[in-house]
Amino acid sequence: MFDLLGLGWQAWVTLAVIFAMLIALVKNVAQPDLILLGALGTLLFFGIVTPEEAFAGLSNSALLAVGALFVVAAGVQNTGALSFADRLLFKPSGSMTVMLSRLMLMTASLSAFLNNTPIVAMLIPRVKVWSEKTGVPASKLMMPLSFGAIVGGMTTLIGTSTNLLVSGLMEASGYEGLGLFELTPVGIPAALSAILYFALAGHRLLPGRSKERSSVGSELENCLFEVRVASSSLLAGQTVEQAGLRSLGEVYLAYLHRGESLISVTPETVLAEGDVLDFVGNPSMIDMLLERPGLERAVTGIEAKVPMTLPLYEAIVAPSSDLVSKTLREVGFRDRYQGVVLGIHRRDEQIQPPLGRVPIKAGDLLFIEANPGFDQRWNSWRDEFYLVAPRRAEQVKPQTQKAPLALLILLCVVAFAATGVASLVTTAFLGALAMIATRCIPGRKARRAVDVQVLVVIAAALGLGRAIENSGLADAVANAITGGAPIFGTVGVVIAIYIATNLFTELITNNGAAALMLPISLAAANELSVSPKAFAIVVAIAASTSFMTPIGYQTNLMVMSPGGYRFTDYLRSGVLVSLVVMTVSVTMICLLWL
């Protein structure tokens, strides 16, 4: 039993701070990096960690390696070095098993060596086109895309920042860090089991919604977008029916607002100049409505600033975005982001007009009209949008002539680190410099490629891990867990740590879960006199395998709108794959280390 009376005041304060941090993360009261920094600052105030311990993470090799690897991955993507994936992946196939196997294997292979967020961002538009060509619903492909990236990331040390954080925490605690391929004997069998499960049976639990377009009551009805009756428009003075705005198939006119009045529309409603029309339905109809004579964008006062014919982009709002819980008017979207939101798409909830007064939620899909290059600019800021993609095919061509060079740099980073020629942080840093020096990626893009929020979370997590150790909380929790070893054995302790880490990941963040559980797992390893690496790998794998919620891992949220998923779709499809991965991972860890 957990000996509460035996805890010192430091452990009590640490426990209270962690509990408050968990609540803040679950409720999304602020960005994760700010929440973790606030928790670390509180522990620093109480003297549970010294300033040197609190900020030691800023010089930890894991933090520096993650930052450098962001640049390496961006260089590979910027040169189009992964274009071969298109030829291997997107082939016509009548077999769902073959399609999913190919998709998940390729995604997992890329994610083993590159950051999985840009990989998923790169593949989402391509998978959507592939879905349309093959007739396979996007909802059958998007979740496997995310899950393939997740399981691929847990196969190597550089596959995800979580693995590097675990290795950094081990080094900070006086242990030897993880090797580049130390996770591979566990990660590959677990990844293959997840891919095999989805290819053979798991896809049957996925919804098939992309073809449900026959009525307004379909899953696509939750997109709200606005257009305006232009000045001197021939539509002014006509009824809704006369203007041809009644029977539009996949979209319907729900309201119009005239001045401060919101009017429910009937076929006999007469239109007037300046009326803002609120449409609900299939977001693809935005293009059609804007092409109609007499209709224009609903936003006023921008004609002098930007041309009238601009490309449209789709952007998925990240949980850390300043947009969350605020309206477009409150954040001054047009001036701040240099774009105009024409529509908002949200799953499982009918959005009420007017558009400018709708509080934005994480996972919302925004349809934005902006100058060319909007996607390149904001794809570099993952704390605002997880994905920005053009609705049409116009994109800046990558520097394909430098693709072989970028791949060579990546291979050198991996090879030198794997063979022990140099440490991972050294090879990653030199690889990042090589990408910039050879112009595989411009310096400006390299700076944007570094996800500062992830680095701050890792640095703060390292400080929190030290506080959990210093306060005695890690030993107390470890004693409580290992107390069941005589009954359930060491395997039971491994399973308990895996489940606890996995549940934390589903509720908060993968890096936060690893920071909380790694000190406890190392203390448990000492209690049981087993290899600390075994328990560290348990935490690394469990913290990376978020399948049951869209909020546990960023790629899950990225595919939520493109796949048309509800929150419950993740739970229904993710429970079994979580059990499969846990069973294989625990079995391999027990065979290799226990």
Residue ranges of domains in the chain: 9-57+461-593, 63-210+398-452, 219-390
pLDDT confidence bin for 485, thresholds 50/70/90: low
Interacting residues of 470 by C-beta distance below 8 A, sequence separation 6+: 10, 48, 49, 53
Summarize the confidence of residues 77-88 as an average pLDDT. 74
- Beta-bridge partners for 224: 280, 344
Nearest to 198 by CA among 548, 573, 589: 573
> What are 311's two structure tokens?
């490309």
Q: What pairing do the DSSP bridges indicate for beta strands 276-281 and 223-229? A: antiparallel
Task: Give the containing element (helix H, strand E) for 72.
Answer: helix 61-78
Give the residue among 152, 44, 60 at the shortest CA–CA distance from 108: 152
Q: Which residues pair with 324 in a beta bridge?
A: 360
- At 310 the pLDDT is 66
- Per-residue pLDDT tens digits for 436-450: 999 888 888 888 778
Higher per-residue confidence, 185 vs 362:
185
- What whole-number distance in Å separates Cα of residue 424 and Cα of residue 65? 7
- Read off the pLDDT of residues 177-211 as tens digits, 9 standing for 90 and up: 888 899 999 999 999 999 999 889 888 888 876 44
Q: What pLDDT digit, counting tens, does each position of 535-554 carry?
A: 999 999 999 888 988 877 87
Structure tokens, 38: 């606030």
Nearest to 212 by CA among 130, 146, 140, 121: 140
Assigned token pair, 276: 């803002």
pLDDT of residue 391: 67
**Mean pLDDT value of segment 398-411:** 83
Given this model, what pLDDT does residue 281 score? 73
CA separation for the pair 331, 346 (Å, rounded): 19
- Distance CA(530)–CA(95), nearest Å, equals 46
- 263 has a pLDDT exceeding 70: yes
Q: Average pLDDT for residues 466-470, to the nearest whole number?
A: 85
- Tens of pLDDT, residue by residue over 19-77, are 898 888 777 677 777 888 999 999 999 999 899 888 887 878 888 888 888 888 888 87
Greatest alpha-carbon span in the chain = 83
pTM of the model: 0.73
pLDDT tens digits for 110-153? 899 887 877 887 788 778 878 877 888 888 999 999 999 999 99
Please tell me the distance from the alpha carbon of residue 181 to that of residue 161, in angstroms, as a whole number: 15
In this predicted structure, the answer to whether residue 218 has a pLDDT above a threshold of 70 is no
Binning pLDDT at 50, 70 and 90, where does residue 433 land?
Answer: very high
Strand stretches in 352-440, DSSP E:
365-370, 385-390
Mean pLDDT, the chain, rounded, equals: 82
Residue 304: the pLDDT is: 35
- Give the CATH architecture of domain 219-390: 2-Layer Sandwich (3.30)
Residue 445 and residue 163: Cα distance in Å, rounded? 25
Cβ count within 10 A of residue 87: 8
